[in-house]
Structure 1
Amino acid sequence: MGNIKRVRYKTKRRQIVGERPGTISIADDALKPIITVYSYNEKELVCADGHDLKVILDQFKKCKDHTHWIQIRGLNDEKLIEDIGTYLKINPLVLEDIVNTHQRPKFDEYDGYFFTVIRQVYYNADNELCNNQFSAIVKPGLIVSFEETHDEHFEAVKARLAGGKGAIRTAGPGYLCYALTDTIIDTYFVLLAHIGDELDAIEDRLYSHADKSIMYDAQQLKRTLIILRRITWPERDKINDILRSENPLITAEVKTFLKDAYDHIIQVMDLIENYKEIAGSVIDLYLSMVSNRMNEIMKVLTIISVIFIPLTFVAGIYGMNFARIDPATNKVMPDNMPELYSPHGYIYTLGGMVLIGIIQVIVFWKKGWFTKL
């Protein structure tokens, strides 16, 4: 399992201070749009691909009695966004929020439609955490979704549309919006499972061969969990707002399924808090282990120092060389070292120093200073 890298934003915020509300300002690194139109009813599913408004209008003419899902992946076409807004009579503030891809999850109601935003968070092929925006406009018989990247995240929803089973073809665009939202929430569980595996691996490394990379990896996971917490709290509030809404596009059947999505986001929040505590405890445990290891090293050094301090004292005394007899005059000098020229004095001094060291070691051993070194 590879190391998790830093958070990666696909687009940068581009906004001029004081510009008119509703201005469409597209980031320089935004991708060119790919448009896919799914028109469906109880009997059939018709798909069409393109890059401009023409494919959408042609599909509307071709499939008049169908519900339409317009999937737009990539936002680097100001004219397309404006044309869609003009054709569908969308508030310019909504168009601004679509291209300004740093919105928090929200649910806004307008006359005849509603607008919703959710964050797509996942690991890409390079193991980088991507935090992208998914937004959708829902009108009677129509849902228009906008994504920052060309990556495909809704294979399961499209398979259900193709299969035609369940309520996905008959419950209206509100249900499809729920299905897309629920799919994104399910990816949070996949992401958290990956984080859980990473935390388990970090804990194994902590107990086997701890090094400073453990602290860095655990901190990166903690940062990821903080990002997820910033996303899931407003997402919970958003789903709660939808459940309280009286919008006819959100039927009683859709609300029943949204309650399940609400339960899922609560579970995600609980997992985030649990993993965040584990990541924090891993960091604290590593720092505690480093501190204990330093204490053990200081304990060893202290014992060595204590043993050698009296030996150094003895060696210092006999290193002063105050002779008992003056070698030039042969006069006895009082209060000087009488043992300086004693026979075997060097051996006796070394023996005394060794004996002092042995006595200290025995005393320290009985006091338990050598345990768990």
Structure 2
Amino acid sequence: MESRIKRVRYNARRHSGNVGDSPGLVVIPDGALKPIISIFSYNKDELVTCEGKDLKDVFKQLKKCDNHTHWIKINGLGDVQLIEELGTHLNINSLVLEDIANIHQRPKFDEYDDYAFSTSRIVHFNSEEELVNNQFSAIIKDNLIISFEEDHEERFEAVKTRLKVGKGAIRTAGPGYMCYALTDTIIDTYFMLLAQIGDRLDAIEDKVYTSADKSIMFSAQQLKRTLIIIRRASWPERDKINDMIRSESPLITPEVKLFLRDAYDHCIQAMDLIENYKEVTSSIIDLYLSMVSNRMNEIMKVLTIISVIFIPLTFIAGIYGMNFARQDDKGHVIKDNMPELYWNHGYVYALVFMFLIAVAQVFVFWKKGWFNKL
């Protein structure tokens, strides 16, 4: 429980561009990193990899391995010229290029004449325990898939490993299968994220029953907000995969659609977990507030019992504290003016009587079981 989410950073950068800008204008977001280009050219027999500094290296690799499928992996969006040149060379619609640079897109799958465009959300905790929601984009065309990521972190190491090993359909099923593999990896990160959230919810629940304090409510509310962000990523991701399954594009082959159905099931499972955890967070908050209310009721009950015990004692003390004189200034006895004031041992009698009243009240409360519930 010591490891808590510091805050949720949901793309703190503002939307790029200005109101009324021309559609298709590529505007690089503030703070965008310079791109790092990795090229993976593969077929059934071999895998050729290289790092590219610019598009010249990319085109050189494409010509060199003309009978391969190519995955061009671009990490960083801080070069508008690179994006525009890619669009010009591959004849990509300017609206697609705008969506790549505009990092606030929801997951979707758009089909065009000879290519397709896909976006997803990569949600993860960074090294500072902050939740970050980044955009992943991919263009699929012919024997080529180009992926765009906002940062330089490596999240597709498992896909690279599968390419190196060469088992399964990843080298032979074309760029559509690679798009599926990347999408499925992103969905798997949701499960990893939800597993961390589940552990934190368990820790919060344990703390509720042992040493509850107001930090429980804050932590549960923060986790709930995190779940809402993951939900906003996973729900349209499900719709996107469904669009890919129903697509008639030759880039999404029947073999790929079979795997996409499995990814669709995984997405549904993630959504179910999100809804379950949201209910748990709400239950924890309600439970904590109920415990606080019950604790307050118990305190009020103790104070009420003490007050009820002292009310008759205060009443008796108030009567005999009125100090009406027994005799007037001439020494005559005033009738009915507190004769008890002149009793021998009257003070002792009053204290004993008050004590017996208190004991009788405590006995009645005990018989009713009030002390057992404190």
TM-score (norm 1): 0.97
- Which residue does 2:332 correspond to in 1? 331
Letter in 2 for 1:111: D
Secondary structure, aligned partner of 2:341: coil
Give the whole-Å Cα distance in 2 for the aligned partners of 1:51 and 1:357: 90
Aligned pair in 2 of structure 1 residues 226, 9: CA closer, same or farther (>3 Å)? closer
Structure 1 counterpart of 2:39, from 33, 37, 40: 37
> What is the CA RMSD across the aligned residues, in angstroms?
1.2
Give the whole-Å Cα distance in 2 for the aligned partners of 1:274 and 1:303: 43
Conservation of the 8 A alpha-carbon contact between 1:174 and 1:249? yes
Secondary structure, aligned partner of 1:339: helix
Alignment of structure 1 residues 192-231 onto 2, 5 Å: 192-231=194-233
Conservation of the 8 A alpha-carbon contact between 1:119 and 1:134? yes
Letter in 1 for 2:26: I
Q: Deviations over 1:112-165 (max 9, x none)?
A: 000000100111111111111101000011000000110000001001111111
Secondary structure, aligned partner of 1:72: strand
Give the whole-Å Cα distance in 1 for the aligned partners of 2:85 and 2:102: 17
Letter in 2 for 1:242: M
Conservation of the 8 A alpha-carbon contact between 1:7 and 1:131? no
Percentage of identical aligned residues:
70
Give the whole-Å Cα distance in 2 for the aligned partners of 1:108 and 1:256: 19
Using the TM superposition, name which of 32-41 and 134-143 deviates more. Answer: 32-41
Alignment of structure 1 residues 127-146 onto 2, 5 Å: 127-146=129-148
- Which residue does 1:5 correspond to in 2? 6
Q: Deviations over 1:172-218 (max 9, x none)?
A: 00001100000110111111111111111111111111111111111
Q: Deviations over 1:10-29 (max 9, x none)?
A: 54322311111111111111
Give the whole-Å Cα distance in 2 for the aligned partners of 1:117 and 1:315: 81
- Which residue does 1:363 correspond to in 2? 364
Give the whole-Å Cα distance in 1 for the aligned partners of 2:18 and 2:30: 14
**Pair 1:75-2:77 in alignment:** yes
Secondary structure, aligned partner of 2:50: strand
**Pair 1:156-2:144 in alignment:** no
**Pair 1:90-2:92 in alignment:** yes
Structure 2 counterpart of 1:178, from 149, 160, 180: 180
How far off its partner does 1:297 sit?
A: 0.8
Give the whole-Å Cα distance in 2 for the aligned partners of 1:55 and 1:296: 74
Q: Deviations over 1:338-358 (max 9, x none)?
A: 122322221111111111111
Conservation of the 8 A alpha-carbon contact between 1:35 and 1:73? yes
Alignment of structure 1 residues 90-129 onto 2, 5 Å: 90-129=92-131
Secondary structure, aligned partner of 1:115: strand
Alignment of structure 1 residues 224-239 onto 2, 5 Å: 224-239=226-241
Give the whole-Å Cα distance in 2 for the aligned partners of 1:74 and 1:343: 99
Give the whole-Å Cα distance in 1 for the aligned partners of 2:101 and 2:4: 32
Give the whole-Å Cα distance in 1 for the aligned partners of 2:246 and 2:30: 38
Give the whole-Å Cα distance in 2 for the aligned partners of 1:188 and 1:350: 72
Structure 2 counterpart of 1:293, from 291, 295, 312: 295
Conservation of the 8 A alpha-carbon contact between 1:12 and 1:29? no
- Which residue does 1:256 correspond to in 2? 258
Give the whole-Å Cα distance in 2 for the aligned partners of 1:215 and 1:7: 16
Give the whole-Å Cα distance in 2 for the aligned partners of 1:5 and 1:258: 35
TM-score (norm 2): 0.97
Alignment of structure 1 residues 306-321 onto 2, 5 Å: 306-321=308-323
Give the whole-Å Cα distance in 1 for the aligned partners of 2:6 and 2:89: 42
Aligned pair in 2 of structure 1 residues 336, 51: CA closer, same or farther (>3 Å)? farther
Give the whole-Å Cα distance in 2 for the aligned partners of 1:148 and 1:335: 95
Give the whole-Å Cα distance in 2 for the aligned partners of 1:289 and 1:77: 55
Conservation of the 8 A alpha-carbon contact between 1:323 and 1:340? no
Give the whole-Å Cα distance in 2 for the aligned partners of 1:171 and 1:363: 83
Conservation of the 8 A alpha-carbon contact between 1:70 and 1:144? yes
Conservation of the 8 A alpha-carbon contact between 1:104 and 1:234? yes
Give the whole-Å Cα distance in 2 for the aligned partners of 1:292 and 1:88: 67
Conservation of the 8 A alpha-carbon contact between 1:35 and 1:71? yes
Alignment of structure 1 residues 264-275 onto 2, 5 Å: 264-275=266-277
How far off its partner does 1:50 sit?
A: 2.7
Letter in 1 for 2:355: V
Letter in 1 for 2:264: Y
Runs of 4+ in 1 over 6 A off after TM superposition: none
Give the whole-Å Cα distance in 1 for the aligned partners of 2:18 and 2:143: 36
Secondary structure, aligned partner of 2:279: helix
Secondary structure, aligned partner of 1:340: helix
Give the whole-Å Cα distance in 2 for the aligned partners of 1:97 and 1:64: 29
